[in-house]
Structure 1
Amino acid sequence: MKSPARVLLAGVAAAATIGALAGCSAAGGDSGDGKTELRVATFPPGADAAAYEAFAAQEKQFEKANPDIDIIGVEYEWEGPTFAVQLAGGSLPDVFTVPFTDSKTLLENDQLMDVTDEVKALGYEDSFNPIILDGVKDSDGHIFGFPRQAYAMGLHYNRDLFEQAGLDPDQPPTTWDEVREYAKKISDATGKAGYAEMAINNTGGWQLTAQTVARGGRTQTDNGDGSAESTIDNDGTKAALQFLHDLKWEDDSFGSKVDLDWGTINQEFAAGNIGMYTSGSDVYTALVRDFGMDPSIYGLAVVPTEGDDPGTLGGGDIAVISPTVDDTTKAAAVKWIDWYYMQKLLNEDAAVQDAKTLNESDQAVGTPVLPVLSRELYEQSLEWIEPYINVPRDQMKPFTDAIWDQTPVGEPKKKTQEIYALLDTVVQTVLTDENADIDALLAQAQKDAQALLDK
């Protein structure tokens, strides 16, 4: 990428979700001057100019070290309903990221490049958390991507709306009953949504699963023989749906928008229209970079947990390579992934250079994540970059002080996105029909999910 304009020109029309030049191949190639042209994912549409400035600086650093590679940034945002179409159409970049939940399906369908030899040659295969690395391995142990970031679910809240409602922003709610109480106070005092939740584009099912786990339930169990059982109809999921019903229909504190997804709920929160919502702990970066949030309003706490076996849903994404690229482009892609994503997790010089570059471009440094490597390496990296950390970590202490005490729970492994889509309908029904029969909805959802799992 040579300028923000170049990235924008690489994007599709505004209606597209995942940015890639319309009609261009994702297979890389020769740039015309003997260099290998490599198209790499950058940011979602709407990212601020400073983000592109930081990327341009990093691109320049990489190309100086690799003068035979020409990096072209491509706007990119993963969304479940459109990703498969983009992948089948060959319009994705050469290097892009996908959620952990998609990796198994993609590698089983031969839609990811095998990078086993490359990961082993780089020498840090054994540094990965083995549970996370297993998510990008097939049954023969071949590796199909680089786990590059993980998160735990967090409760994001607006400190300014808390103060307007007479609440202490340094004392966020620690139970679901308190979340409901705080949401009502915020809504009554400000007229804004005290609490909101995603409900479309597979995000409704994602968040319902997160709420279920936080209440001690699970939506799927692994039978250990390659099959899985749907367990959607459980007390935790029922409590999560009843919570949404009560906020919407009894307290009138949910707000009027019931069709939000990851992008639109972030936009609404950044604009100051939502008091609280749940999402991955790493979303602060996008809130500032892509949605223009004022950092002073931001607060982050752990998701409340209750029940007999509560946990905190985790997730993350992996950097992958299109299976259509040639060997030269693949080699360039591995160099980029190692340099851009991985070395800052492993190497002090790389970590400092990355943090310094981002800091100088006013990009977020130090957003809370979970380590894809060891906790020790993660905490060491925070020490390396401490002079450049610029996120308001004091406003995130209710999360960073407590997250290690919560039990991490991975997302369901089988038919994940299809079942999330199925659960979207359940969430939407509860939010649009005051008399929705939650028991009947859960019984039908469990039956439908099992049918998907049995295919």
Structure 2
Amino acid sequence: MKSRRTVAIAGIAALAMVGALAACSDAGGSDDGKLELRVATFPPGAEQAAYDAFAEQEKQFEKANPDIDIVGVEYEWTAPTFAAQLAGGSLPDVFTVPFTDTKTLLENGQLMDVTDDIDELGYADKFNPIILDEVTGSDGNVYGFPRQAYANGLHYNRDLFEQAGLDPDQPPTTWDEVRAAAKTIAEKTGKAGYATMASGNTGGWQLSVQADSRGASLQTDNGDGTYTSTIDNDATKATLQYLHDLRWEDDSMGATFDLDWGSINQEFAAGNIGMYTSGSDVYTALVRDFGMPSDQYGLTVIPVEDSGGVLGGGDIAVMPPTLDDETKAAAVKWIDWYYMQKLLNEDAAVADAKALSASDQPVGTPVLPVLDKETYLESQKWIEPYVNVPLDQMTGFTDGIFDQTPVGEFKGQTQPIYALMDNLVQAVLTDENADIDALLAQVDVDAQALLDQ
């Protein structure tokens, strides 16, 4: 990377790709007269190998586009401060945001319209229509490039399983089995057998994951642009009671109850947590950004019951609407080259996989395809010689995920309501006598007030 002029953005949010340092969104000319384009790279603290891989990709792009100077910018998505940073122009020219926030951002006119650009690139009809809907405005226009998707999975530490006398090749398949394994791990190793996110809106996100797996519907779309909160339901109550019992009856959740996406990944990578739930694609961050040894990692599907489903998500590559035409054109070139062509073009897919593999970066992390299934399966064949993730330690997920029913995140006031739901998780983990019924009733009232604004 040539330079990284950064500004701090505080906080961390849910979906994987989560937020903190950025540079100016107004691209300018570099000393040699090239157009300088600032693009998001990795969260602060990412290992040097990640930047080495990026530097190689940067060279490849600049060779093909000698009039553009790529400037990588450390970046992590943060829900609480994003709007202010976007309004203040302190984001890169190209960055990523989670699906959950896309609707709000485009309703507020905060994303660049790329409808014509995607049409000209010729692959608008290859997107999964459900995923493309995440970046489609009420005007029918498209405001970003869906670049990756995931389903939530159950991540587990194989070493802690072995230390507790459990078989890491036979991970839990029901929530009761998860609870039993968590208790055994805590008793045998002294580490948290199970942990959950609880702050920065991620507690609400993961509460949704478990509630959805038990058949919950947390919000009703009334079909007229309004929504009704239905957080207060039996499945959400069962999930909160489950977390309460893990914490207070089994003492299997350790001693830290304000974890967010970054801190739970750090603790898991350090071998202090036996199991937790998060997006299936988090393996890359665990080994790249948090230094987890790959041989300790295991992934399986989240247990489902009572017609429940698995909550999914993803993120999109976007631009602020303030870019001038020249910078926008350069940004579209970068997004197409860096994010999209490796999904569509064999040469690009192989080049990307080679660059990542040469720098010991993960290739082949389980995701859900943003493009049609045929295109996805073909792309997996292209990169097969370079896959370096331990897929044999992820078969519980890769074999089982397509048997589960995908569930999308609720659309109305997603992040603000996740923040309200954080309070539910924290309450049951810090107060043994928390009144779950009363808490749920109040959250429904508060969530509806947000929806009625």
TM-score by length of 1: 0.96
Query: Which residue is 1:409 aligned to?
Result: 407
Look up the equivalent residue of 1:366 and give its one-letter code. Answer: G
Query: Which residue is 1:444 aligned to?
Result: 442
Deviation at 1:377, TM superposition (A): 1.4
Query: Which residue is 2:396 aligned to?
Result: 398
Deviation at 1:27, TM superposition (A): 1.4
How far apart are the structure 2 equivalents of 1:179 and 1:82? 35
CA distance change for structure 1 residues 14 and 293 in 2, over 3 Å: closer, same or farther?
farther
How far apart are the structure 1 equivalents of 2:41 and 2:21? 9
Deviation at 1:57, TM superposition (A): 0.1
Give the secondary-structure state (helix, strand or coil) at the position aligned to 1:80: coil
1:373 to 371, 374, 380: 371
Q: For 1:115-170, what per-residue CA distance to the aligned partner results, in whole angstroms no more than 9, with x for missing partners?
A: 11101100000000111111111112111000000000000000000000000000
Are the counterparts in 2 of residues 18 and 92 from structure 1 also a CA contact under 8 Å? no
Query: Which residue is 1:183 aligned to?
Result: 182
Deviation at 1:12, TM superposition (A): 3.1
2:6 to 7, 11, 16: 11
Give the secondary-structure state (helix, strand or coil) at the position aligned to 2:136: coil
Deviation at 1:14, TM superposition (A): 9.4
How far apart are the structure 2 equivalents of 1:408 and 1:380? 22
Query: Which residue is 1:324 aligned to?
Result: 322
Query: Which residue is 1:334 aligned to?
Result: 332
Are the counterparts in 2 of residues 27 and 322 from structure 1 also a CA contact under 8 Å? no
How far apart are the structure 1 equivalents of 2:84 and 2:270? 31
CA distance change for structure 1 residues 153 and 195 in 2, over 3 Å: closer, same or farther?
same
CA distance change for structure 1 residues 247 and 418 in 2, over 3 Å: closer, same or farther?
same
Are the counterparts in 1 of residues 158 and 297 from structure 2 also a CA contact under 8 Å? yes
Give the secondary-structure state (helix, strand or coil) at the position aligned to 2:96: strand
Query: Which residue is 1:108 aligned to?
Result: 107
Give the secondary-structure state (helix, strand or coil) at the position aligned to 1:161: helix
Are the counterparts in 1 of residues 9 and 78 from structure 2 also a CA contact under 8 Å? no
Are the counterparts in 2 of residues 94 and 321 from structure 1 also a CA contact under 8 Å? yes
How far apart are the structure 1 equivalents of 2:231 and 2:138? 27
How far apart are the structure 1 equivalents of 2:312 and 2:301? 12
Are the counterparts in 2 of residues 19 and 75 from structure 1 also a CA contact under 8 Å? yes
How far apart are the structure 2 equivalents of 1:41 and 1:12? 12
Deviation at 1:323, TM superposition (A): 1.3
Give the secondary-structure state (helix, strand or coil) at the position aligned to 2:80: helix
Query: Which residue is 2:342 aligned to?
Result: 344
Look up the equivalent residue of 1:98 and give its one-letter code. Answer: V
Query: Which residue is 2:418 aligned to?
Result: 420
How far apart are the structure 1 equivalents of 2:191 and 2:238? 24
How far apart are the structure 2 equivalents of 1:170 and 1:142? 46
Look up the equivalent residue of 2:342 and give its one-letter code. Answer: K
Look up the equivalent residue of 2:21 and give its one-letter code. Answer: G
Query: Which residue is 1:162 aligned to?
Result: 161
Deviation at 1:388, TM superposition (A): 0.1
1:357 and 2:352 matched: no
Alignment of 1:41-440 (within 5 A): 41-307=40-306, 309-440=307-438
How far apart are the structure 1 equivalents of 2:260 and 2:84? 19
How far apart are the structure 1 equivalents of 2:287 and 2:373? 26
Are the counterparts in 2 of residues 18 and 83 from structure 1 also a CA contact under 8 Å? no
Q: For 1:241-266, what per-residue CA distance to the aligned partner results, in whole angstroms no more than 9, with x for missing partners?
A: 01110011110001101010000000
Give the secondary-structure state (helix, strand or coil) at the position aligned to 2:81: helix
How far apart are the structure 2 equivalents of 1:232 and 1:421? 13
CA distance change for structure 1 residues 452 and 145 in 2, over 3 Å: closer, same or farther?
same
Are the counterparts in 2 of residues 129 and 374 from structure 1 also a CA contact under 8 Å? yes
Look up the equivalent residue of 2:121 and give its one-letter code. Answer: L
Are the counterparts in 2 of residues 209 and 218 from structure 1 also a CA contact under 8 Å? no
Q: For 1:246-298, what per-residue CA distance to the aligned partner results, in whole angstroms no more than 9, with x for missing partners?
A: 01111000110101000000000000000000000000000000000000000
Give the secondary-structure state (helix, strand or coil) at the position aligned to 1:81: coil
Are the counterparts in 1 of residues 10 and 81 from structure 2 also a CA contact under 8 Å? no
Unaligned stretches of 5+ in structure 2? Answer: 12-18
How far apart are the structure 2 equivalents of 1:420 and 1:42? 26
Give the secondary-structure state (helix, strand or coil) at the position aligned to 1:386: helix
CA distance change for structure 1 residues 283 and 432 in 2, over 3 Å: closer, same or farther?
same
How far apart are the structure 2 equivalents of 1:425 and 1:89? 30
Are the counterparts in 1 of residues 9 and 20 from structure 2 also a CA contact under 8 Å? no
Are the counterparts in 1 of residues 198 and 257 from structure 2 also a CA contact under 8 Å? yes
Aligned residues with identical type, % of pairs: 74
Look up the equivalent residue of 1:385 and give its one-letter code. Answer: I
RMSD: 1.1
Look up the equivalent residue of 2:113 and give its one-letter code. Answer: D
Q: For 1:364-400, what per-residue CA distance to the aligned partner results, in whole angstroms no more than 9, with x for missing partners?
A: 0000000001122112111110000000000000000
How many residue pairs match? The answer is 446
Give the secondary-structure state (helix, strand or coil) at the position aligned to 1:288: helix
Q: For 1:275-322, what per-residue CA distance to the aligned partner results, in whole angstroms no more than 9, with x for missing partners?
A: 000000000000000000000000000000011x21000000000011
How far apart are the structure 2 equivalents of 1:82 and 1:259? 19
How far apart are the structure 2 equivalents of 1:56 and 1:199? 35
Look up the equivalent residue of 1:382 and give its one-letter code. Answer: Q
How far apart are the structure 1 equivalents of 2:8 and 2:417? 30
Deviation at 1:187, TM superposition (A): 0.3
Give the secondary-structure state (helix, strand or coil) at the position aligned to 2:135: coil
Greater Cα shift, 132-141 or 282-291: 132-141
How far apart are the structure 2 equivalents of 1:14 and 1:108? 23
Greater Cα shift, 320-329 or 358-367: 320-329
CA distance change for structure 1 residues 449 and 15 in 2, over 3 Å: closer, same or farther?
closer
CA distance change for structure 1 residues 403 and 186 in 2, over 3 Å: closer, same or farther?
same
Divergent runs of 4+, >4 A: 13-17
Look up the equivalent residue of 2:152 and give its one-letter code. Answer: M
Look up the equivalent residue of 1:199 and give its one-letter code. Answer: A
Deviation at 1:88, TM superposition (A): 2.4
Deviation at 1:198, TM superposition (A): 0.2
Look up the equivalent residue of 2:239 and give its one-letter code. Answer: A
Look up the equivalent residue of 1:135 and give its one-letter code. Answer: E
How far apart are the structure 1 equivalents of 2:201 and 2:32? 43
Are the counterparts in 1 of residues 8 and 20 from structure 2 also a CA contact under 8 Å? no
How far apart are the structure 2 equivalents of 1:345 and 1:454? 40
